[in-house]
Amino acid sequence: MAVIRDVMPAFDLLQPKSIDDAQKLLEKHGSDAWALAGGLDSFDWLKDRIKKPKVVVDLSGIEELKGVRSVSDGIEIGAMTTLTEVVNHPLIKQHYGLLAQGAELAASPQIRNQGTIGGNVTQDARCWYYRAGWPCYRAGGNICYADTPEGRNREHAILYADRCVAVNPSDSAPALIALDAKFVMRTPQGERVVDAEDYFIGPEIDITRLHILKPGDLLTAIRIPPTWAGAQFYFEKVRDRNVWDFPLLNVASAMVVSGGSIERMRIAVNGAAARPLRLKAVEDAVRGKPPNAATGEMAGKLAVQGAIPLQFNAYKIPLMRNLVKRAIGGVQEATWAS
Ligand SMILES: Cc1cc2nc3c(=O)[nH]c(=O)nc-3n(C[C@H](O)[C@H](O)[C@H](O)COP(=O)(O)OP(=O)(O)OC[C@H]3O[C@@H](n4cnc5c(N)ncnc54)[C@H](O)[C@@H]3O)c2cc1C
Ligand code: SF4
Among candidates 177, 185, 39, which has minimal Cα distance to 113?
Answer: 39
Spacing, Cα 234 to ligand 1 middle (Å): 23
236 CA distance to ligand 1 centroid (A)? Answer: 20
Ligand 1 neighbourhood includes 45 CB (under 6 angstroms): no
Mean pLDDT of 145-159: 96
DSSP state of 69: E
| Per-residue buried b or exposed e for 27-56, using 16+ beta carbons within 10 Å of the residue's own CB | bebeeebbbbbbbbbbeebbeeeeeebebb
More confident residue, 158 or 334: 158
Residue 236: is its pLDDT beyond 60?
Answer: yes
Residue ranges of alpha helices (H) inside 160-306 are 172-178, 196-199, 280-286, 293-303
Write the pLDDT tens digit of every residue in 66-118: 999 999 999 999 999 999 999 999 999 999 999 999 999 999 999 999 999 99
Taking CA atoms only, the protein residue closest to ligand 2 atom 2 is: 164
Cβ of 246 closer than 6 Å to ligand 2, yes or no, is no
Q: Is the pLDDT of residue 125 over 60?
A: yes
Residue 229 pLDDT class (50, 70, 90 cuts): very high
Looking at ligand 2, which atom is closest to the CA of residue 163? 7
The DSSP result for 80-137, as a single string, is T-BHHHHHH-HHHHHH-HHHHHHHHTSS-HHHHHH-BHHHHHHPPP--HHHHTT---G
26 secondary structure, DSSP code:
H
Which ligand neighbours the alpha carbon of 252 most closely?
1
Cα 263 to ligand 2 centroid, rounded to whole Å: 40
Instruction: Dump strand ranges (E) for the chain.
Output: 12-14, 33-36, 55-58, 68-71, 74-78, 182-187, 190-195, 218-224, 232-238, 249-258, 261-270, 277-278
Whether the pLDDT of residue 272 is over 50: the answer is: yes
What single-letter DSSP state applies at residue 9?
Answer: P
Closest residue CA from atom 3 of ligand 1:
107
* C-beta of 34 in contact with ligand 2 (< 6 A): no
Ligand 2 atom with least separation from CA of 136: 8
Q: From the CA of 239, give the closest atom in ligand 1.
A: 8
Considering every ligand atom shown, identify the ligand nearest to the alpha carbon of residue 152 and give its number. Answer: 2
Q: Is 196 in the pocket of ligand 2 (CB under 6 A)?
A: no
Q: Which atom of ligand 1 is nearest to the CA of 35?
A: 47
| Best probe residue, ligand 2, of 147, 159, 210 (max atoms within 8 Å of C-beta) | 147
pTM as predicted: 0.96
Q: Is 270 near ligand 1, meaning CB less than 6 Å away? A: no
The pLDDT value recorded for residue 6 is: 78
65 membership: H or E segment, kind and range: none
Which residue's C-alpha comes closest to atom 4 of ligand 1? 107
pLDDT in tens, 310-330: 999 999 999 999 999 999 986
Q: Let me know: does 123 contact 247? Beta carbons within 8 Å.
A: no
51: left (phi over 0), alpha (psi -120 to 50) or beta: beta
- The candidate with the shortest Cα–Cα distance to 173, out of 246, 75, 93, is 246
Please indicate whether residue 130, judged by its CB atom, sits closer than 6 Å to ligand 2. yes
Q: For the chain, give the mean pLDDT.
A: 95
